[in-house]
Structure 1
Amino acid sequence: MIEKTRGIVIKYIKYQESSIIVQIFTEDHGLTSFMVNGIRSARSKRSIGYFQPFSLLDLVIYMKSGREIQRLSEYKYLTPTHSIQTDIKKSTIVLFLSEILSKLLYHEKGPQEMLFGFLYTAVREFDSMTAQIENFHLHFLLKILPYLGLGVADGDELIRSMELEMIHEDQQLLNFVSAVISSDFSDDIGGSGQLRFKALELILNYYHHHTDAIGEIKSLKVLHQVFQ
């Protein structure tokens, strides 16, 4: 069946000499893998830039029930994301988040209007941000939780859900996590590099506690190197 839908590129892998298999989170079918033939060929008239992580695309797709890898008929930019592709700090955060999303969204199938809406808005805002980007991945990982049925109101609830007790000196960390949850992506909530790393470790522990989908995150080391 030929359908139109919107999609957010999560990641792609090379396939054979000139093709790729790309994971796209679509509004109507959730996380779906597509074959794109010949896109890496020198003769290709289309750029592989369309399939960089967090690209926002308008799609015409061939969907066949039971087929693991679907086909793309047409694709074009829904909204260009220029700074995400060219800013090294933003692209590092996107690399990290796309690795997590490729695992986290694996079972998110069927219509995904609300989750797609969150992702679409987050990507557009991140692309437009000129400051406060160092906390974006923390905002993202905490703000997506309600759409996955794992939302928490503040840092204290996050800790209680894992049945952990924090020592008195960690109250600054819990206050920081609470500030991330209650603020907007672009709000200035401060925080040192060390505090952000501790917050990220705590958030990832929360994910590991509530889901076995995440596993090892290979891009975490790169993220730390860029933002240390």
Structure 2
Amino acid sequence: MEVTTKGIVFSTIKYGEADLIVHCFTESDGLKSYLLRRILTARKGKLKMSLFQPLMLLELVAIHKNKGTLERIKEAKVAHPFKSLHANVSKSGMVLFLAEMLKNSIQEEEKNRELFQYIENALLWLDEHDAIANFHILFLLKLSAYLGFYPDASNIESQYFNLSEGNFQESPFGTYCEEGLKVEALKGFFGIDFDALPQIKLTKKVRLETLDLMLRYYQLHIQSYKRPKSLLVLNQLY
């Protein structure tokens, strides 16, 4: 079936000498993997390698057989030309990290328009703004709502955050309770949107610890979670 849909590139893998497998999250069908034949050696053609950078937002005309096999892209073009996302060194490091986290976290092979629109709007915001040092923490917190494990903040004034239960507690109960500056920092991300990020002031040490807290939270709530390889680069930047 031929479909026209937006797609967000999560990753690419070289296949053989000339082919490429592209993993995309599509607005119409959720996760899709496409085989692009001879794209690595072709000098002409509708599909260019530059289109398939991490988190590129594309307009796709694709053939979806929906049989669990690799699909085919007939046409692709940029849906929104990002101004800084791939040109700015700091943002490109953020992009690599977010793309890896999204690929590790989203496992839905079905349409989820709300999740797609959340990612799309977040990327558009990231492209337009410069105060982004804490963007990835808020992005992951908000993403967890779409993945089904957003923390319960009804007792947010409590001292402890239980990673396993996903709630705040007055006393440490269980193996995965955390406290301290990283928990207090995490509380500041609840109930805000991206425009409020400049108001959050964290030292690099606390930022790294808060991010690590979120990543351990993801590890407990996502099956087959893989720690992102791009984390080292991200931590050096932020």
Q: With structure 2 as the length reference, what TM-score do the two structures score?
A: 0.86
Q: Distance in 1 between matches of 2:11 and 2:210?
A: 25
| Residue of structure 2 equivalent to 1:43 | 43
Please tell me whether the aligned partners of residues 38 and 44 of structure 1 are also in contact (alpha carbons under 8 angstroms): no
* Cα offsets for 1:7-56 (capped at 9, x unmatched): 11111111222321111100111111011223222613443121101111
List aligned pairs for 1:126-205, cutoff 5 A.
126-130=126-130, 132-154=131-153, 159-162=161-164, 163=174, 164-167=176-179, 170=180, 172-187=181-196, 188=198, 189-205=200-216
Q: Percent identity?
A: 33
Q: Distance in 2 between matches of 1:80 and 1:134?
A: 23
Q: Any gaps of 5 or more consecutive residues in structure 2?
A: 165-173
Q: With structure 1 as the length reference, what TM-score do the two structures score?
A: 0.90
| Residue of structure 1 equivalent to 2:69 | 68
Please tell me whether the aligned partners of residues 100 and 214 of structure 1 are also in contact (alpha carbons under 8 angstroms): no
RMSD of the alignment, in Å? Answer: 1.9
Please tell me whether the aligned partners of residues 12 and 20 of structure 2 are also in contact (alpha carbons under 8 angstroms): yes
**DSSP 3-state at the match of 2:162:** helix
| Residue of structure 1 equivalent to 2:167 | none
| Residue of structure 2 equivalent to 1:216 | 227
Q: Any gaps of 5 or more consecutive residues in structure 1?
A: none
Q: Distance in 2 between matches of 1:83 and 1:217?
A: 23
Q: 1:206 to 1:14 in 2, by over 3 A?
A: same
Q: One-letter code of the match for 1:178?
A: K
**DSSP 3-state at the match of 1:94:** helix
Please tell me whether the aligned partners of residues 162 and 178 of structure 2 are also in contact (alpha carbons under 8 angstroms): no
Q: One-letter code of the match for 2:162?
A: R
Q: One-letter code of the match for 2:83?
A: H
Q: Distance in 1 between matches of 2:115 and 2:11?
A: 18
Richer in helix (by share): 1
| Residue of structure 1 equivalent to 2:118 | 118
Please tell me whether the aligned partners of residues 10 and 102 of structure 1 are also in contact (alpha carbons under 8 angstroms): yes
**DSSP 3-state at the match of 1:205:** helix
Aligned residues: 222
Please tell me whether the aligned partners of residues 27 and 112 of structure 1 are also in contact (alpha carbons under 8 angstroms): yes
